[in-house]
Chain A
């Protein structure tokens, strides 16, 4: 079993916590796992990506390359589009439909591609696009968007719901545990086949 998950978004959106949760979960479940992150400059609102590679064998390179991701978790739509070439033809894309405009677009120096929604539909193996930020806000905080997206993807990963809830318990501050579990379950509902 090899599962490659690419987590993409905008610096400051909390993509790192999502990958750390996945890493712990994989370790607790007896898999080998490697994560590769971006720190430094891009964390100031730039395009950021975290690679998560899980295997029941040994993981070598920590990086996922084009066409190798089983799952992409996109915290923002343009970032989903940018990183789409990394998805396997039959891979699954989970995308937060919230948009954060990059400065060149705000300033009118560049344009977001037209028909991004359609493009993502056409080229992802499967796609689940929803307003994960709203789901997180409904659960109690916009900060829980990472857990919502993990919830949505959870059925495609080899971990039980109990294991997920346990790792959430061990990873967030006590007063936020219930809210995050709730956000996770809401995300899981969103990700279920309809």
Chain B
């Protein structure tokens, strides 16, 4: 024990462990993933990857009924998937303490939207806590369990990219040893039927009112009167850090609890400062509530944007306190978009789909990167699992399914694609679904999943056989193929998309990051006719030098895909031993 430097997400996991949590069930999603990965290293905690966030929250709720302290972690869009159990668990309340940890992504560093999870907390009717640094990540999650058990409520712990993915110094503490809170049958509380739900709702509003009152005294709602009382700032989370750096002499009310708001405390603070400002990234969540009480707010979203991230400079500028020094301009630097790795199994498929000019209803995973040049082989990406439903809807609307496919990864298929496939079978679709089975959840940093053969702790686990699963749904034509067999794959895609019946193609090859690559760099020989076919796979190792394709040996992993697409057999393996 002592002080350690920890990622916000590691601090959350440490705090959960110290709080005596024994069950964690989550689905990965940047920037939340490392909480669960770190928790998996503690022997005292049962940690699992659920197939999706809805299951994760249900497992946590079951564990809470069983009397344990439980946790489910997800990214912001994951809470949409989990919203159903989450909203009703918010009414019933808990037995053992239960926390749902959600990480937002203002600035869209790795997400498809910038939604504001605080609204889910308010709409469901649960307290929402928001830490501002790694130490607070640990402290707040512990506090969240106390609140959960004291007030009989699920607690939403809200993080974000700059909290989850910043490191800071954290003081470690001891783990509390706690016994299970005995489960007692109580169908008036846990069976949410209309008659019960109406009563539960009354109790829920009562406890929220109580929390709003009590939290005026909580330390995490911290009034810091500065030398300057002309400016009073209400803020929370990472925005507190930006605002404090920007305006060190101003007065602050730093909220640790962002729902329900400590109304009395806020009104008092407002009366002690000349002008009140609310600084919060995203929607005017705190601001609008304060305005609705008739408390004047001198500046909020009229000064600051709803989009993206804030910074200390942005706040200084808004208050006219920036010296405005010019910096050099390097905005002519070309962008560097992310790419599929050298050796990535997905490249074979997208090379083929690009060549065939197929209409591709895409999905979310590493393979979404195939939407960018040179493959440009994706027409849509909405949310996890949407590829299948959208391809089906397109077919039903146009009556045409030729040269059209739905494409999604193994983890995404099990997350929420399977229900779309069942729908296709049931409603007699004729389309083609391609599952990219790379044996892992790649995009989020290589987590195990129900088809990968290992569990969250890295132990061997039963693996779902995707082919059998599709067949059991009623798909008659299921083809498994190595996506690097590009010639055969092209034939298979042509045949299956032409077929007047539903089909599934499963491309099988492990992610290049989880199996050792040959690491013998390939070279382009003088047999090369400069047709540039090899450049259409989008391998980061293939550049143009002196007007011809050239393989950068440091980047090449020797996967051999380029040799398979070269029509002139012009690419050789070198004999150089592995790097």
Chain A positions near chain B (C-beta within 8 angstroms): 10-12, 19-20, 23-24, 27, 32-47, 59-63, 65-67, 78-79, 81-86, 100-113, 119, 123, 133, 142
Q: Does B481 contact A (CB under 8 A)?
A: no
- Contact partner of A63 among B110, B162, B336, B538, CB < 8 A? B162
Q: Verify A110–B313 contact, CB threshold 8 A.
A: no
A79 cross-chain contacts in B, Cβ below 8 A: 336
Q: How far is the CA of A11 from the CA of B341 in the complex (A)?
A: 10
Q: How far is the CB of A191 from chain B (nearest CB, A)?
A: 23
Interface string of B129-140 (1 = CB under 8 A from A): 000010000000
For residue A61, which residues in chain B have a CB less than 8 angstroms away from its CB? 238, 241-242, 244-245, 311-312
Report chain A residues within 8 Å CB of B369. Answer: 41, 44
A40 touches B110 (CB 8 A): yes
Interface residue B542 (Cβ < 8 Å from any Cβ of A)? yes
> Are A37 and B535 in contact, with the CB atoms below 8 A?
no
Instruction: State in angstroms the CA–CA spacing of A82 and B544 once bound together.
Output: 22
Residues of A within 8 A of B445 (CB): 39-40, 43
The dominant DSSP class at the B interface is loop
User: Which B-chain residue is minimally distant from A105 (CB atoms)?
Assistant: B334
Nearest B residue to A86, CB-CB: B327
Give 10 A-B pairs besides A36-B166, A61-B244 with Cβ atoms closer than 8 angstroms.
Answer: A27-B4, A33-B169, A36-B162, A38-B165, A41-B109, A63-B162, A79-B336, A103-B337, A104-B335, A113-B330
Interface: B455 (CB within 8 A): no
Taking the complex as formed, is B514 at the interface, i.e. its CB lies under 8 A from any CB of chain A?
A: no
Chain A neighbourhood of B543, CB < 8 A: 101, 106
Query: In whole Å, how far is B169's beta carbon from the nearest beta carbon of chain A?
Result: 6
Of B244, B333, B338, which one neighbours A11 at CB under 8 angstroms? B338
- Interface flags for B161-178 (1: CB within 8 Å of A; 0: not) read 010011111000000000
Q: Please, which residues of chain A bring their CB within 8 A of the CB of B245? A: 60-61
Sort chain B's interface into a size bin.
Answer: 35 or more
B251 to chain A minimum Cβ distance, whole angstroms, is 16
Find out whether the CB atom of A65 lies under 8 angstroms from the CB atom of B312. Answer: yes
Check B167–A103 contact: CB distance below 8 A.
Answer: no
With A23-B5, A38-B109 known to touch, is A113 a contact of B333 (CB < 8 Å)? yes
User: Can you list 29 A-B contacts with CB-CB less than 8 angstroms, sorted by A residue number?
Assistant: A19-B167, A24-B5, A33-B5, A33-B167, A33-B169, A35-B5, A37-B167, A39-B30, A41-B30, A41-B110, A41-B443, A44-B338, A44-B341, A46-B338, A47-B335, A47-B336, A62-B162, A65-B311, A65-B312, A78-B333, A81-B330, A81-B333, A102-B337, A103-B339, A105-B334, A107-B535, A123-B328, A133-B554, A142-B554
Task: Give A43 to B339 CA distance when docked, in angstroms.
Answer: 9
Is residue B374 contacting chain A, with contact meaning CB distance below 8 A?
yes
Selected contact of A103 from candidates B34, B242, B372, B555, CB within 8 Å: B372
**B459 at interface (Cβ–Cβ under 8 A)?**
no
> Is A84 touching B328 in the complex (CB atoms < 8 A)?
yes
Which residue in B31, B241, B340, B555 is a CB contact (below 8 Å) of A62?
B241
**B-side contacts of A35, CB under 8 Å:** 5, 166-168
Q: Does B296 contact A (CB under 8 A)?
A: no
Q: CA A107 – CA B334 in complex, angstroms?
A: 12
Give the CA-CA distance A86 to B445 in the complex, in Å: 29
CB–CB B5/A78 < 8 A: no
Contact (Cβ within 8 A) B169 A27: yes
Partner of B166, one of A27, A37, A100, A107: A37
Q: Which residue of B lies closest to A79 (CB)?
A: B336
Task: Knowing A37-B167, A63-B162, A84-B330, say if A104 contacts B338 (CB, 8 Å).
Answer: no
CA distance A101 to B336 in the complex (A): 8
Residues of B within 8 A of A85 (CB): 327-330
The 4 closest A-B pairs by CB, nearest first: A40-B110, A40-B30, A46-B338, A110-B334
Q: Is the CB of B168 within 8 A of A33?
A: yes
Using Cβ atoms and an 8 Å threshold, which residues of chain B touch A67?
Answer: 325, 327
Least CB separation from B373: chain A residue:
A107
Q: Within the complex, what minimum Cβ distance (angstroms) separates B332 from chain A?
A: 5
Smallest CB-CB separation from A25: which chain B residue?
A: B5
B334 near A102 with CB under 8 A, answer yes
Q: How far is the CA of A81 from the CA of B540 in the complex (A)?
A: 20
Give A24's nearest chain B residue, CB to CB: B5
State whether A113 and B332 are in contact (beta carbons under 8 Å apart), knowing that A103-B372, A142-B554 are contacts in the complex: yes
Q: What B residues does A112 contact at CB under 8 A?
A: 333-334
Pair B110/A42 contact, Cβ less than 8 Å: yes
Find the A residue at minimum CB distance from B240: A60
Q: Are B373 and A45 in contact (CB under 8 A)?
A: no
| Most A Cβ at <10 Å: residue of B162, B167, B542 | B167
CA distance A84 to B331 in the complex (A): 10
Q: How far is the CA of A35 from the CA of B166 in the complex (A)?
A: 5
Closest to B549 in A: A106
Task: Tell me which residues across on chain B come within 8 A of A65, comparing CB atoms.
Answer: 311-313
Q: How far is the CB of A2 from chain B (nearest CB, A)?
A: 11
Contact between chains at A111 and B110 (CB < 8 Å):
no
Check B544 against A45 for contact (C-beta < 8 Å).
Answer: no
Residues in A with CB closer than 8 Å to B311 are 61, 63, 65
A24 neighbours in B (Cβ, 8 Å): 5
> How distant is B535 from chain A, measured CB to nearest CB, in Å?
7
Q: How far is the CA of A102 from the CA of B244 in the complex (A)?
A: 37
Q: Roughly how many angstroms separate A44 CA and B542 CA in the complex, as a whole number?
A: 16
How far does the Cβ of A3 sit from chain B's closest Cβ, in whole Å?
A: 16
Would you call B24 an interface residue if the criterion is a C-beta within 8 Å of the partner chain's C-beta atoms?
no
Q: Which residues of A contact B373 (CB under 8 A)?
A: 103-104, 107, 109
Is B444 positioned at the interface, with any CB of A under 8 Å from its CB?
A: yes
Chain B contacts for A66, CB-based, 8 A = 313, 327
**Which of A32, A36, A86: most chain B CB closer than 10 A?**
A36
**Set of chain B residues within 8 Å of A44, measured between Cβ atoms:** 338-341, 366, 369
Q: How far is the CB of A4 from chain B (nearest CB, A)?
A: 12
- The answer to whether B576 has its CB under 8 Å from any CB of chain A is no
Instruction: Please give me the residue from chain A that is nearest to B341 by CB atom.
Output: A44
B185 within 8 A of A: no
Among B419-454, those with CB < 8 Å from A are: 443-445
Question: Which residue of chain B has its CB nearest to the CB of A44?
Answer: B338
Q: Mark B339-378, 1 if CB is under 8 A from A, else 0.
A: 1110000000000000000000000001001001110000
Give the residues in chain B near A84, CB-CB below 8 Å.
328, 330
A21 to chain B, nearest CB (A): 10
Residues of A within 8 A of B516 (CB): none
Q: How far is the CA of A11 from the CA of B369 in the complex (A)?
A: 14
Contact of B109 among A19, A27, A40 (CB under 8 A): A40
Find out whether the CB atom of A42 lies under 8 angstroms from the CB atom of B109. yes
Indicate which residue in A10, A36, A142 contacts B336 across the interface (CB closer than 8 Å). Answer: A10
Q: Which residue of B lies closest to A61 (CB)?
A: B241
Which residues of B lie under 8 Å from residue A46 when comparing CB positions? 336-339
Q: Chain A nearest CB: distance from B204 CB in Å?
A: 35
Nearest opposing residue in chain A for B314, CB measure: A65
CB distance from A123 to the nearest CB of B (A): 5
A62 → chain B, closest Cβ, in Å? 4
